[in-house]
Chains A and B, each alone.
Chain A
Amino acid sequence: MHAAQILINALVLGCLYACIAIGFSLVWGVLNVINLIHGSFIVLGAYLAFGLYYSLHLSPWYAVVVAAPLFFVLGYLLQRLLLNRVIHAPVLVTLTLTFGLDLILNNAMIYFFKADYRKLTLAPPLGSVSVLDVVVPVDRLIATLAALALTGLLYLLLRRSRVGRAIVAVRLDRDAAVLMGVNVEQIYAIAFGIGAALAGCAGVLMALIFPISPLTSSGYLGKAFVVCVLGGLGSVSGALAGGLLLALVEGVGSTLFGPSHATTLSFVLLIVFLILRPQGLLGRKGFE
């Protein structure tokens, strides 16, 4: 029964990890930019959910609908006005630029919201369900399902819609996409906007489960790194696979070695993967 509980926990956490990482993975895959502001976007999303719940009594389920367009616009403008100017510069420049933006956003959040940890507590608590000794809190279960739904939505968007096809085309071969008449700058901005929207929605879902503070952003970012490298870049299924693998390793690892070693384990796993299988679990070699 113990093993079943670990497995279920990993499954729930894995879907949440996938949701954290998927926007980051999209931006990295399509724009070839490591977006260090991703973690702060997630925290900002969590504050949005917190604010909407306590000021307007808007349940976090609806906050997702509010967060998505707001963050899309934010991301779109950020890419269009700032990142786009250095998009073809070397890794160092884009990485350092997003680091600078992250410092600004994070400092602004500490300034306006303070660094105290807050928690969004739903007025009647949702409780938990238990099947054969395996206990799952309902709020986690719902957040997991919502995360899965968001992931599925992105998958559909990339597969079925015209914009999605263009994003995939730019990801596969930028030059060929230009020749086919795709407006690459527009696609870059849209992809960054979608990445930001996914981060904002992930933040809303995280607000249900984890404490909210600007200081938690680097933790989310670290998870996004690991998930992306484990699963492979830019693909929806890769993020899911990476998220599940990370959650499983962390769950089993913290049971065997104690919870304080779980983070070490996940970063060691990251480095091992980078060296042995840099394309990730589901990535193809030479696809970069």
Chain B
Amino acid sequence: MTRANIALLILIGCVAALPLFGGAYALRLGTIACMYAILALSWNVVGGFAGYPSFATAAFFGFGAYATGVLMNDGLSLWLSVVMAAVAALLLAAMLGAVLLRLRGHYFAIASLSLAEVLRELVNNATDLTGGGMGLNIPLVSGSSVLGDAMFFFYAMLGLLLATALMAMAVAGSKLGFGLACIRQNETASSMVGLNTTLYKSVAFGLSACFVAAAGGIYAAWVHYIDPSDVFDILYSVKPIVMALMGGLGSPLGVACGAFLYLGLEEVVWRNYIQIHTGVLGLLIVMLLLFLPHGLVSLRAGMFGRKTKHV
């Protein structure tokens, strides 16, 4: 286990101690922080390790949210629904990935971007199953106090974050991670030396989708009401990319730090400039790309004994 991975686990441990210090607001922030970190770490498997510019995060987030919501309305328990949604997303993404991941560069970006649009329109039109544009109400889970409920979802999201972080570390240290790094550097060459690139990319895409869908499921149960324009919001695809760019592409620790930092900035901007907060977010993105293209990790590359990976 590398020092960066240990640092990441310690970071997650620090987040776990959050309820000791704050009330409901801190819990809410902590839950969102965990969710953002899950999205960013999952995206990093495809976007950072394999270097594929995926904009499909929103698609699988919404898919997971709706799958969980529909299953829970059928009377299934939260855990069973989330697990089923995650497995369904894994299979869906692996199948779609086998087709979509043959595209490269801009074409892959556009195809993954339109995946969210297609799913949103399908959900919008399947009024019988999903409630369409009216949205979907999701039954309450615990029925205990408000604070107890908040605590429950915070730890659910934190547990999922831990699982995601372990997945990202396992992938980074395994043959799969090595194969993905080869694909990022030169896909044609890695395919020539006998790497099954389509299989590797599909597995990575599926893994990434699986955890995003689970996060979507917990989110849906947490907020009790979802509608297509909320959970298929294109910002769910873009935010993880900004977080990863902020922290440093490819390094799980960097990406997780990027997610927490991003949430902090977002919260400050949102609270102070409600009317122009998306504009400030845009400005932040532009500044980041122009002045710090390799993320925060590049500022102290030597500190973690590992150089930032470039796309």
Residues of A within 8 A of B (CB): 28, 32, 34, 82, 85-86, 89-93, 95-97, 99-108, 111, 218, 222, 225, 229, 260-261, 263-264, 267-268, 270-271, 274-275, 278
Q: Which of B53, B125, B238 contacts A91 (CB 8 A)?
A: B53
CB within 8 Å for A32 and B106 given contacts A96-B241, A100-B286: yes
Contact of B110 among A96, A104, A274 (CB under 8 A): A274
Q: Residues of B contacting A103 with CB < 8 Å?
A: 278-279, 281-282, 285
Give the number of A-B contacts (CB < 8 Å): 122
> CA–CA, A34 to B124, complex, Å?
27
B114: interface (CB < 8 Å): yes
Chain B residues near A102 (CB-CB < 8 A): 282
**Interface residue from A92, A99, A263, A278 paired with B121 (Cβ < 8 Å):** A263
| B19 lies within 8 A of chain A by Cβ | no
Q: Confirm or deny: B156 has a beta carbon within 8 angstroms of a beta carbon on chain A.
A: no
A residues within 8 A CB of B105? 91
Contact B290–A86 (Cβ < 8 Å): yes
Shortest Cβ gap from A222 to chain B (Å)? 7
**Cα distance A89–B100 in the bound complex, in angstroms:** 23
Q: Which residue of A lies closest to B115 (CB)?
A: A271
When distances are taken between beta carbons in the complex, the residues of chain A under 8 Å from B113 are 225
With the chains together, A91 CA to B53 CA distance in Å? 7
Q: Is the interface of B mostly helix, strand, loop or mixed?
A: helix
In the complex, the answer to whether B106 meets A278 with C-beta atoms within 8 Å is no
A90 and B106 alpha carbons, distance in the complex (Å):
10
Interface size on B, residues (CB 8 A): 42
Tell me if A93 and B311 are in contact (CB < 8 A): yes
Q: Of B125, B276, B286, which contacts A97 at CB under 8 A?
A: B286
Minimum distance in angstroms from B272 CB to a CB of chain A: 15
Interface residues of B (CB under 8 A from A): 47, 51, 53, 99-100, 102-103, 105-107, 109-111, 113-115, 117-118, 121-122, 124-125, 234, 238, 241-242, 245, 275-279, 281-286, 289-290, 293, 311
A92 touches B311 (CB 8 A): yes
- Taking the nearest CB of chain A, how far is it from the CB of B280, in angstroms? 8
Is the beta-carbon distance between A274 and B293 smaller than 8 angstroms? no
With A96-B241, A274-B110, A275-B99 as known contacts, state yes or no: A104 contacts B289, CB within 8 Å.
no
Residue in contact with A111 in the complex, picked from B114, B115, B276, CB distance below 8 Å: B276
CB distance from B193 to the nearest CB of A (A): 23
Contact for A222 among B100, B109, B117, B245, CB less than 8 A = B117
Q: How far is the CA of A93 from the CA of B51 in the complex (A)?
A: 12
- A97 CA / B100 CA spacing, docked (Å): 24
- A52 to B290 CA separation, bound complex (whole angstroms): 35
- A264/B121 in contact, CB under 8 A: yes
Quick one: which of A91, A111, A264 contacts B279, CB cutoff 8 A? A111
Which residues on B sit within 8 Å (CB–CB) of A104? 279, 282-283, 286
Q: Please name the residue on chain A nearest to B125 by beta carbon.
A: A260
7 tightest A-B CB contacts, nearest first? A103-B282, A100-B285, A107-B279, A104-B282, A264-B121, A100-B282, A92-B53
**B277 proximity list for chain A (CB < 8 A):** 107
- Quick one: closest A residue to B53, CB to CB? A92
Contact B103 A111 (CB under 8 A): no
With beta carbons under 8 angstroms apart, the residue of B106, B125, B234 that contacts A264 is B125
Most chain B beta-carbon neighbours within 10 Å: one of A107, A108, A111, A275? A107
21 contacts between A and B (CB under 8 A): A34-B106, A91-B53, A92-B47, A92-B53, A93-B311, A95-B53, A95-B106, A97-B290, A99-B238, A102-B282, A103-B281, A104-B282, A107-B279, A108-B276, A225-B114, A229-B110, A263-B121, A264-B121, A270-B111, A275-B102, A275-B103
| Chain B nearest CB, measured from A90 CB (Å) | 4
Indicate whether A86 sits within 8 Å of B282 (C-beta atoms), given known contacts A99-B238, A222-B117: no
| A97 partner residues in chain B, CB cutoff 8 A | 285-286, 289-290
Given contacts A93-B289, A111-B276, 15 further A-B contacts (CB under 8 A): A32-B106, A34-B109, A85-B290, A90-B51, A93-B245, A95-B109, A96-B245, A97-B285, A97-B289, A100-B283, A103-B278, A107-B278, A270-B110, A274-B110, A275-B111
Chain A residues with CB below 8 A from B47, complex form: 92
Query: In the complex, what distance in Å separates the CA atom of A271 from the CA atom of B109?
Result: 11
Point out the residue from A96, A99, A271 that lies within 8 Å of B111, measured CB to CB: A271
Point out the residues of chain A lying under 8 angstroms from B100, CB to CB: 271, 274-275
Q: Which of B106, B118, B276, B284 contacts A267, CB < 8 Å?
A: B118
Asked if residues A96 and B107 are in contact (CB atoms below 8 Å), the reply is no
Please state if B103 and A93 are interface contacts (CB–CB under 8 Å). no
B91 vs chain A, min Cβ distance (A): 18
* Contact assessment for B106 and A274 in the assembled complex, using a CB-CB cutoff below 8 Å: no
**Cross-interface CB contact of B107 among A111, A218, A278, cutoff 8 Å:** A278
Q: Which residues of B contact A90 (CB under 8 A)?
A: 51, 53, 311
Chain B residues closer than 8 Å to A261, beta-carbon distance: 121, 125
**Please, how many angstroms separate the alpha-carbon atoms of A273 and B114 in the complex?**
12
Query: Measured between C-beta atoms, what is the minimum distance from A226 to chain B in Å?
Result: 8
Are A271 and B114 in contact, with the CB atoms below 8 A?
yes
Chain A hits for B114, CB < 8 A:
222, 225, 267, 270-271
Shortest distance from the beta carbon of B201 to any chain A beta carbon, whole Å: 15
Q: Nearest Cβ distance between residue A239 and chain B, in whole angstroms? A: 16
Residues of chain B within 8 A of A92, CB atoms compared:
47, 53, 109, 241, 245, 311
- A267–B106 CA distance with the chains assembled, in angstroms: 16
Chain A's closest residue to B103 (CB) is A274
Q: In the assembled complex, which residues on chain A have CB atoms less than 8 Å from the CB atom of B121? A: 261, 263-264, 267
